[in-house]
Structure 1
Amino acid sequence: MSRRDRTIVVVDDNELIRISLRAILRQAGHVVVGEAKCGDSALEMIERHVPDLVCLDVNMPGRNGLDVLGEVRQRWPKVRVMMVTSQADRDSIQTMLARGADDIILKPFNGARVVETIARAFKR
């Protein structure tokens, strides 16, 4: 699968984060097929596009990222999920990974780290 074929949905309640991630991902050659700002719209977007990967914020209004992660794992087990969070403590990270996150992108992030983390996920 070439980088141009990889589809990604970006989910974050912060518009600036969504814009930043979209720009980083597109510059790296990925295709951002959708964006959402809450858990329910994220699930709708994922159902519509069934992307290769979802960049998923943890703390959002309504359904949080961990709830969405659980549903993604049940309904679309092959979709890779990168949790995007500022929660860098060991317990939070272990919880996200235990619930099925493929990896974690810590906020604040830089473009190189995002691209590296996503590339690592696609190699698995």
Structure 2
Amino acid sequence: MPDPSSITVLIIDDNDVSRSMLRHILANEKYRVVGEAGNGRLGLELAERLKPNIVCLDINMPAPNGIEVLRQLKETLPQAEVLMVTGNNDRNSVMEAMQLGAAGYIVKPFNPTTLLRTLEQAVAKLRTDA
């Protein structure tokens, strides 16, 4: 596994507490959180500018929602791995996200062990796709 400090992460979530918790968990493991956005439009702008390795993306946000942001991210940053973040385990949204190329999903409230395992799987995928 590569050094976590070499992995850049962007967090897109309209919930301040969720963003803060994600940032805290990732920072404890030495991942580099390079940006945060509270909505999909700003998230897309940051993703284009920062070109992160991993994007943690909330599904349920005001327009554009996470599914629409995922579609656009996969067009503009196909090399980035996207982890969907969801507060409800809505199977349809999760299935749609996976079909659109999401690398995995994280359920709120966050379990740090599960979150890190999911992140490590996405990092491993980064390396095999490169």
TM-score (norm: length of structure 2):
0.91
One-letter amino acid of the structure 2 residue matched with residue 17 of structure 1: S
Post-superposition offset of 1:123:
1.1
Give, in whole Å, the separation in 1 of the partners of 2:70 and 2:30.
25
Q: Deviations over 1:20-73 (max 9, x none)?
A: 000000101100000000000001110110000000001111211111100010
Post-superposition offset of 1:111:
1.2
The answer for the alignment partner of 2:40 in structure 1 is 39
One-letter amino acid of the structure 1 residue matched with residue 62 of structure 2: P
Q: Deviations over 1:63-84 (max 9, x none)?
A: 1111110001011100000000
Q: Deviations over 1:1-34 (max 9, x none)?
A: 4211100001110100000000000101100000
Instruction: Quote the sequence identity (%).
Output: 39
Q: CA RMSD in A?
A: 1.0
User: Per the alignment, in what secondary structure is the counterpart of residue 119 of structure 1?
Assistant: helix
Post-superposition offset of 1:96:
1.2
CA contact (8 A) 2:14 2:37 kept: yes
User: Per the alignment, in what secondary structure is the counterpart of residue 29 of structure 1?
Assistant: coil
TM-score (norm: length of structure 1):
0.95
